[in-house]
Each structure stands twice: as C-alpha cells, then as structure tokens.
Amino acid sequence: MSGGSLRPASRGRTDRRRGPGRRAFASAAAALGALAAAASTAQHSTAFDVESGERAYASACANCHGPDGDLIAGIDFGRGLYRRASSDDEIVGIILNGIPNTPMPPNPGMSEAQALAIVAYLRAMARSSASAELDGDAARGRALVEGKGECLTCHRIGRRGSRAGPSLTRIGTARRAEELKRSLLDPAAEVLPENRSYRVVTREGEAITGRLMNHDTFTVQIITSDEKLRSFRKANLAEHAFAETAMPSYRDTLTAQEIADIVSYLVTLRGEERQ
C-alpha cells in the first residue's frame, strides 16, 4: 500500500495546530483511511463507507470508546486490538446486538450497511496508524535519536539519557505513530497534563521548573528534572505558572524522512531495557 502518502501531506501543513489534538487525529485518521481505502483495490470498502462510518462512529460510539477508539481497557480500534471480535461479521454482530451484560449497547435502529460502514472506518483507523509505522527505518531512527536529534539530552530510553523530559522507554505502548509524529512536529499542540512544565519562582528569587504533580489552594508540588518532589506554599512564591514546553519542534531541523525514521524507532520502544 502507498504508506508514503503520509509524508508529503505532513510537511508544510500548518492546520495541524488546530486542537484539541485527539479530535484532529480522528479526522486525520479518517482522511488517511479514506485515501488508503480508495487506493487499495483489495479493500471492498469505499471511501464513502469510511466517511459515513466516521460520522456514525463519532455520534454513536466515540462517547464510550473515545475518538481514537482506545478508551476501553483491552480494546483499541486504532491498533486493531479486539478482545472478542475478529471478523467484520462478528463486529457487525456486536454493533447491532450489543454484548449482553456489558455496557456495550445494541443498536436496533441501525442497518447492516451502516454497521459495515462503521467497521470500514474502524479498519481504516488501524490501517492508517500501521502505514505510518511502515514509512521509516527504525535503525536509522535510533541513530538520529541518539545522535543528531539529541533527544537523550532531555529524554530517557532504558538506562540512558536524561530525566528532564518524560521517559520514552515505553512510548511505543502509549502512543501511536501519528501522535508521535505530532509530538515531533508540533510539540505544543498537545501536551499531556502530566507532562506540562510548571515554573515557580520563590520570593528569594530561586526559579524551579518541573512537571506539575499537584496543586491546591495553598500549595504547589512539582517534580524537578532530577526527579525530586518539591512542595511550595503559594504564599511564599513570587510567581507560579505553566511554562512553555521545552520540547523543540523538529519541523525545520529534520527532514520528513528523518521524522518518519524516528517515529518508526519510537513505536518499537515497549519497555525493554536498551543498553
């Protein structure tokens, strides 16, 4: 399949900043899925199915399964991960009849064609993230992460690197290729609450930046880059506020191919220790 279609589309596009990011990804996935479906003669679903499936999914399914299909434990439509169903027919059956004694409801008003359109959309979600992974070369990506990209000056992978940014040791289990690419191109577009940098300045003039752990009316707790938990009384602070993310955008410093290589490497990071 033409996985390469991801690359040219990603360069020079500025509308990726529209937020919130997860919604943006859902429609990007649909657009890519539609392209993939249209390009592939082996697929019986048409781009039209995928589009109407996306709309039906957004209105009938996303509130429980999430826009990316990964909100229910053990099920992740974007990764093609199912606990019970495997064939299209089984998924259609589940959509129409629900799963008795679970919150998964039946959809008595839905036709089989509509259910099939949703299945086409679910399959397209999984294909678009799989094709994004195929774009790059993981070995080259690793060399870039450890070399030119200087990622380890802020991130930890296994036992190497720094704790200034979040650890990437298991990032491949937590994020899909498309989300990783967005972190590299538009880091400010979607920063997880637990990754947001918070900066405090004490009345004595000491400035400390870290990840915000907790805050209440009177105190603020942050984790500093050397992983110390520090607590401050707000009354003793001259300033306290979220800081800009330290994660640089690589949009202008790495090529689209290099970004794809890095993403291919990051998706392999699933928690094993790497030397």
Does 160 interact with ligand HEC (rule: CB under 6 A)?
A: no
Size of the site for ligand HEC (CB under 6 A): 48
| Position 82 contacts ligand HEC (CB under 6 A) | yes
Residues belonging to the chain: 275
The dihedral built from the CA positions of residue 184, 186, 190 and 196, taken in this order, carries a sign that is positive
Residue closer to ligand HEC (CB basis): 30 or 171 = 171
Cis peptide before 20 (omega within 30 of 0): yes
DSSP-based three-state secondary structure for 21 = helix
The side-by-side arrangement of strands in the sheet containing 237-242 is: 229-233, 219-224, 207-215, 197-202, 237-242
269 touching ligand HEC, by CB under 6 A: no
| Structure-block tokens of residue 115 | 């259910």
- Does 164 bind ligand HEC (CB under 6 A)? Our answer is yes
Q: Locate tokens 């009177």: which residue?
A: 218
Using rule CB under 6 A, residue 94 touches ligand HEC: yes
Task: Decide: is 139 part of the binding site for ligand HEC (CB under 6 A).
Answer: no
Which of 113, 246, 270, 274 binds ligand HEC (CB under 6 A)? It is: 246
Among 187, 210, 220, 261, binds ligand HEC (CB under 6 A): 187
Please identify, using beta-carbon distances, which residue of 34 and 258 lies nearer to ligand HEC: 258
For strand 156-157 and strand 207-215, is the pairing parallel, antiparallel, or unpaired? unpaired
Show contacts of 198-202: CB within 8 Å, 24+ apart.
198/222, 198/240, 198/241, 198/242, 198/243, 199/239, 199/240, 199/241, 199/242, 199/243, 200/232, 200/237, 200/239, 200/240, 201/237, 201/238, 201/239, 201/240, 202/232, 202/236, 202/237, 202/238
Of 249, 80, 272, 250, give the one whose Cα is nearest residue 172. Answer: 272
- Shorter beta-carbon distance to ligand HEC: residue 212 or 262: 262
177 binds ligand HEC per the rule CB under 6 A? no
Q: Are 129 and 175 in contact (CB under 8 A)?
A: no
Choose, by CB under 6 A, the member of 26, 30, 185, 262 that binds ligand HEC: 262
Which of 19, 105, 106, 271 touches ligand HEC by CB under 6 A?
Answer: 105
Q: Which stretch binds ligand HEC (CB under 6 A): 8-16, 25-33, 92-100, 200-208?
A: 92-100
Q: Which range, of 19-27, 176-184, 230-238, 267-275, touches ligand HEC by CB under 6 A? A: 176-184
User: Shortest Cβ distance from residue 44 to ligand HEC (Å)?
Assistant: 18
Q: Which residues bind ligand HEC (CB under 6 A)?
A: 60-61, 63-65, 72, 75, 82-85, 91, 94-95, 99, 102-105, 107, 118, 145, 149-151, 153-155, 164-166, 168, 171, 175, 180, 183-184, 187, 191-192, 195, 197, 245-248, 250, 262
